[in-house]
Chains A and B, each alone.
Chain A
Amino acid sequence: MTNASARPTPFAKAIETDYRNRSATNAMQSAAYDRYGRLGLPNRRVEGWKWSDFSAALRGDAPANDAAPVETIPPSPFATLEPLEIQIVDGRVLAPDAARLEGFEFGVIEPGAPDQDFDNHSLVALNIALTRRAFGFRVAGGAIIDRAVHIRHINKRPGYVFSQILGRAEEGSRVTIIETFEGCATFHSAMHHLSVYKGAEVSRYVLHDADADAVTHGFFGGMVGEDARFRQTSLSTGGRLCRHETHLLYPAAIGFSDVAGAALVAGDRHSDFTTQVRFRAPGGEARQLHKGVASKKGRNVFQGKFHVERAAQKTDAKMTANALLLSDGAEANHKPELEIYADDVECAHGSTVGALDDDALFYLRQRGLSEGEARALLIEAFAGEVIDGIDDAGVRDVFAARVAAWLEEQQ
């Protein structure tokens, strides 16, 4: 580790013990563990981690050892959509045995590793080394899955949690995946790898609605195949340190992705959306929109990168990040990046940071809205651009309701 000479933190000790106590590790896991050992936890001095320092966040005391009493799992806000519900509770996959979904195979499987090269990512290495069992799914070629699949990450007690989802949407298939992050772990590393093959369409909705103390690292690695379409909408209310990464690779021609995220952070919560799209073949298209609202001492981070390789001519990629700061102590950090090696592409990024518009506020108040109501309406409108982009009306309603509830909480 980078600070090998320093006294090991409770986190480092727990990780070490966890790894040593395993009955069996494969070559991939031991290589990943060594890699993590070399890299250490990412800290603010490492490129890309300046605003989200996991090393600092995990320096604290070890979580209390006594298991919390078993609680019932709260009903999910998506229950009315009657999705196929999979629970990953404190990292353990609870897949319903009886449930069947035509064209959708799933089960508990051996953990794996991303297809892409993330060798310098220490949290990915740590996840590969320590995840015990993964949730795996396969959408059969041509299958159109009408029922949404809802994967709930539920953390019920303090501890270090590692989980994996490994999925594939085969040629011409279509599926909707909802992922929610609930509760609180001392640290939760959630990795999700999904390959979207030729002509397939995947919609992924992520609702991060965890406790204020949650420290989360979500890592999504997606392969967008030829003529495949991937759409993602995320809503996060942050936590002590919550980062969701989305990495997309376009290995084949004319892939499409639309990645949108809204973050609403109050108190001293922190949300980080980091995205990277790597175009390796011609004609790829990508849209990214990020809307961050921060009040009190909340902090939003957005880092977005388009990496266009030489072969990826006619790439069309646009990225927009807007931040709204509701108080003096609130913070927004944006880092849009373009790295382009092809000469015939259209890539653009835009970034704005501001407060609520005084003219609009006065207008609304002149029409009868109180200051609180006027502010709430404008904040809702700001985040609404992300929420309104959700195609699925049922999912959109749940997201919109969460935004409305958040605004209520701020009154």
Chain B
Amino acid sequence: MLKIDDLHVAVGPEDNRAEIIRGLTLEVPAGEVHAIMGPNGSGKSTLSYAVAGRDGYEATAGAVTLEGEDILGLDPNERAAKGLFLSFQHPMEIPGVQTMNFIRTAMNAQRKARGEDEISAADFIRLVREKAKLVGLDDAKLKRPFNVGFSGGEKKRMEMLQLAMFEPRFAIMDETDSGLDIDALKMVGEVVNALRGPDRGFLVITHYQRLLEYIRPDRVHVLAGGRIVKSGGASLAAELEKSGYEQFIEAA
């Protein structure tokens, strides 16, 4: 489904670029959930930005395909319309932007790009209410400007709300667990598990094993020094929790 082949990504100012992703290869087949674990600075967020198409995170070499289609040449919004969703590690506050209006505009922009009809106002309200309940955000929060005055946990709930609403084909979850309590982790697990299915894939980027107790991955990869240095089954996460990342930092 999502295939990353020998990806290289350099970031930083023109005259001082640093290669952060250095020949990363990874494939997440449809229907699977893969986890990427790794120490700080291993390139986890750079990978998610590069796949989502952020300016300044362009690939210098390699390929990324979503269901066989090369996405590296696409704008971020085109990738989103193809069904790629990124749950941000640090979702920002956007003052002045009305939450409901924004989500609906985004949803319709994606639909339009796919040649689908817009969602009606009534259907949208119904959907947003239903999903807000699922992720534990009350109506008052939806009436606020986007994420303004939200706690870290509430911002993550807003990410999950959008994940649940957009039902993307492939979701990258960049340290969604950071700053979440047990109840919120459970909620994230519920949202993701409800969406799991044969046509959908997930890449869960995390530092710790605990989220993976709620989202059981099919494969776990260790990212260090900009490449995958080890892959294994779900049990690898538990092993890492015990032995730490030291060994990989040296290996990379």
B215 lies within 8 A of chain A by Cβ: no
A365 to B, closest residue via Cβ: B76
A357 to B, closest residue via Cβ: B92
A362 lies within 8 A of chain B by Cβ: yes
Question: In the complex, which of the residues A357, A367, A380 has the most CB atoms of chain B within 10 Å of its own CB atom?
Answer: A367
B238 lies within 8 A of chain A by Cβ: no
Contact of B92 among A363, A368, A369, A382 (CB under 8 A): A363
Contact of B52 among A364, A366, A369 (CB under 8 A): A366
Contact of A368 among B54, B96, B113, B145 (CB under 8 A): B113
**Nearest chain B CB to A351's CB is how many angstroms away?**
17
A388 to B96 Cα, complex, angstroms: 9
B162 lies within 8 A of chain A by Cβ: yes
- Asked if B106 and A369 make an inter-chain contact with CB atoms under 8 angstroms apart, the answer reads yes
**Nearest chain B CB to A75's CB is how many angstroms away?**
29
- Asked if B81 and A364 make an inter-chain contact with CB atoms under 8 angstroms apart, the answer reads no
- Asked if B106 and A364 make an inter-chain contact with CB atoms under 8 angstroms apart, the answer reads yes
A411 to B91 Cα, complex, angstroms: 27
In the complex, what residues of A have CB within 8 A of residue B77's CB?
A: 365-371, 374
Do A371 and B75 form a contact, CB below 8 Å, given A365-B80, A366-B80? Answer: yes
- Asked if B105 and A377 make an inter-chain contact with CB atoms under 8 angstroms apart, the answer reads yes
A373 to B80 Cα, complex, angstroms: 14
- Asked if A377 and B75 make an inter-chain contact with CB atoms under 8 angstroms apart, the answer reads no
A88 to B61 Cα, complex, angstroms: 66
- Asked if A368 and B95 make an inter-chain contact with CB atoms under 8 angstroms apart, the answer reads no
A374-400 toward B: CB 8 Å interface, digit per residue (1/0)? 100110111011001000000000000
A339-357 toward B: CB 8 Å interface, digit per residue (1/0)? 0000000000000000001
Interface residues on chain B, number (Cβ under 8 Å): 31
Contact of A377 among B52, B79, B102, B110 (CB under 8 A): B102
Task: Count A-B pairs with CB separation below 8 Å.
Answer: 76
A46 lies within 8 A of chain B by Cβ: no
In the complex, what residues of A have CB within 8 A of residue B80's CB?
A: 365-368
**Nearest chain B CB to A391's CB is how many angstroms away?**
18
B150 lies within 8 A of chain A by Cβ: no
Within 8 A of B (CB), among A107-165: none
- Asked if B102 and A364 make an inter-chain contact with CB atoms under 8 angstroms apart, the answer reads yes
**Nearest chain A CB to B155's CB is how many angstroms away?**
11
A7 to B86 Cα, complex, angstroms: 67
Do A373 and B95 form a contact, CB below 8 Å, given A365-B75, A366-B86, A367-B162? Answer: no
B107 lies within 8 A of chain A by Cβ: yes
In the complex, what residues of A have CB within 8 A of residue B117's CB?
A: none
A358 lies within 8 A of chain B by Cβ: yes
In the complex, what residues of B have CB within 8 A of residue A371's CB?
A: 75, 77
A28 lies within 8 A of chain B by Cβ: no
Secondary structure call for the A interface: helix
**Nearest chain B CB to A19's CB is how many angstroms away?**
48
Contact of B105 among A358, A366, A369, A385 (CB under 8 A): A369
A369 to B94 Cα, complex, angstroms: 15
B84 to A, closest residue via Cβ: A366
Do A368 and B109 form a contact, CB below 8 Å, given A363-B91, A384-B96? Answer: yes
Contact of A382 among B49, B53, B96 (CB under 8 A): B96
Question: In the complex, which of the residues A362, A366, A367, A388 has the most CB atoms of chain B within 10 Å of its own CB atom?
Answer: A366
**Nearest chain A CB to B101's CB is how many angstroms away?**
9
- Asked if B92 and A359 make an inter-chain contact with CB atoms under 8 angstroms apart, the answer reads yes
In the complex, what residues of A have CB within 8 A of residue B162's CB?
A: 367
- Asked if B95 and A358 make an inter-chain contact with CB atoms under 8 angstroms apart, the answer reads no
A360 lies within 8 A of chain B by Cβ: yes
- Asked if A381 and B75 make an inter-chain contact with CB atoms under 8 angstroms apart, the answer reads no
**Nearest chain A CB to B160's CB is how many angstroms away?**
14
- Asked if A368 and B75 make an inter-chain contact with CB atoms under 8 angstroms apart, the answer reads no
**Nearest chain A CB to B48's CB is how many angstroms away?**
10
B197-228 toward A: CB 8 Å interface, digit per residue (1/0)? 00000000000000000000000000000000
Do A369 and B109 form a contact, CB below 8 Å, given A362-B54, A362-B55? Answer: yes
- Asked if A373 and B75 make an inter-chain contact with CB atoms under 8 angstroms apart, the answer reads no
In the complex, what residues of B have CB within 8 A of residue A381's CB?
A: 94-97, 145
In the complex, what residues of B have CB within 8 A of residue A363's CB?
A: 88, 91-92, 94
**Nearest chain B CB to A375's CB is how many angstroms away?**
12
- Asked if A370 and B75 make an inter-chain contact with CB atoms under 8 angstroms apart, the answer reads yes
A70 to B75 Cα, complex, angstroms: 51
A381 to B113 Cα, complex, angstroms: 24
In the complex, what residues of A have CB within 8 A of residue B86's CB?
A: 366
- Asked if B106 and A367 make an inter-chain contact with CB atoms under 8 angstroms apart, the answer reads yes
- Asked if A366 and B96 make an inter-chain contact with CB atoms under 8 angstroms apart, the answer reads no
Do A378 and B55 form a contact, CB below 8 Å, given A367-B106, A369-B106, A370-B77? Answer: no
**Nearest chain A CB to B30's CB is how many angstroms away?**
22
A377 to B109 Cα, complex, angstroms: 13
A242 to B174 Cα, complex, angstroms: 49
**Nearest chain A CB to B56's CB is how many angstroms away?**
8
A sample of 5 inter-chain contacts (CB < 8 A) reads A360-B92, A366-B52, A374-B77, A378-B94, A380-B96
List the 10 closest pairs (A to B, CB-CB), nearest first.
A381-B96, A367-B106, A368-B110, A365-B76, A368-B109, A384-B96, A368-B80, A368-B106, A381-B97, A365-B77
Other A-B contacts than A370-B109, A381-B95, 5 sampled, CB-CB below 8 A, are A362-B52, A363-B88, A368-B113, A369-B105, A378-B94
